[in-house]
Homo-oligomer: A and B are copies of this chain.
Amino acid sequence: MVVKLYGPDSAASNRVLVCLIEKGVEFETVPVDLFKGEQRAPEFLKLQPFGAVPVVQDGDCTLFESRAIIRYFAEKYKHQGTDLLGKTIEERGLVEQWLEVEAQNYHPPILDLVLKIVFGPFRGLTPDPKLIKESEDKLSKVLDVYEERLSKGKYLAGDFVSLADLSHLPFTQYLVGKIGKGYMIRDRKNLSAWWDDISGRPSWKKVLELWPGQY
């Protein structure tokens, strides 16, 4: 049965999409209009009680939270498509570590920038330069750690591409796109090479073609 993905045109949903494509998993997308508030409709809340996207249905299995979903598919199809979990338990440990760093350290300041710079104006809000500077400074410190880490291996968890790398794609695409702060990547040599590598993967190019103009 084809996997159903609800809420395809959001950054978190694209985190799932790129992994489904890497794993060669067939899927269909079900639109959820966040601007119209469809994620808070009673029917949708039965699937995702917090009213957020994405949600997937894989046969009888319904799952939400993008980083949980990508782990699920990477494990279910471990031997199909790109292996995204590493070969050993120690490698998987490092994948998990950098997935957590993405969620806990990288995501919060970059989400702040997306909300203020990209979505704020839709709600009639003018971005406050002081708050933007604060988020940029926080993100900058995180990127310094990444730069150092990527001097030791081509990818975050070592010499193999993994969920940890792919998980960074959607929001970094905003950073170099609509946020207009691509210099934060380009000013760092190793980070810049890493970004070219992961954003150049056919899987991510396919996601970008699905939603032209999103980033």
Residues on A facing B (Cβ under 8 Å): 49-50, 60-61, 63-65, 67-69, 71-72, 75-76, 89-90, 92-94, 96-97, 99-101, 103-105, 142, 145, 148-149
Contact = CB atoms under 8 A, between A and B. Distances in A.
Counting chain B CB atoms within 10 Å of each CB, which of A60, A64, A75, A97 scores highest?
A97
A145 B93 CA distance: 30
A115 to B, nearest CB: 15
A47 B78 CA distance: 30
**Count of identical protomers in the assembly:** 2
A68 B50 contact: no
| Most chain B beta-carbon contacts within 10 A, residue among A96, A103, A142, A148 | A96
A152 to B, nearest CB: 11
A94 B64 CA distance: 9
B75 A89 contact: yes
Contacts of A145: 49-50
A135 to B, nearest CB: 16
A110 to B, nearest CB: 15
Contact of A72 (B65, B71, B92, B149): B92
A96 B92 CA distance: 14
A67 B149 contact: no
Contacts of A49: 145, 148-149
B93 A63 contact: yes
A50 B65 CA distance: 25
A89 B75 CA distance: 7
A89 B71 CA distance: 10
A157 to B, nearest CB: 11
Contacts of A148: 49
Nearest to A96: B68
B100 A65 contact: yes
29 contacts: A49-B145, A50-B101, A50-B142, A50-B145, A60-B90, A61-B90, A61-B93, A63-B93, A63-B97, A64-B97, A65-B100, A65-B101, A65-B104, A67-B96, A67-B100, A68-B93, A68-B96, A68-B97, A68-B99, A68-B100, A69-B93, A71-B92, A72-B89, A72-B90, A72-B93, A72-B96, A75-B89, A75-B92, A100-B103
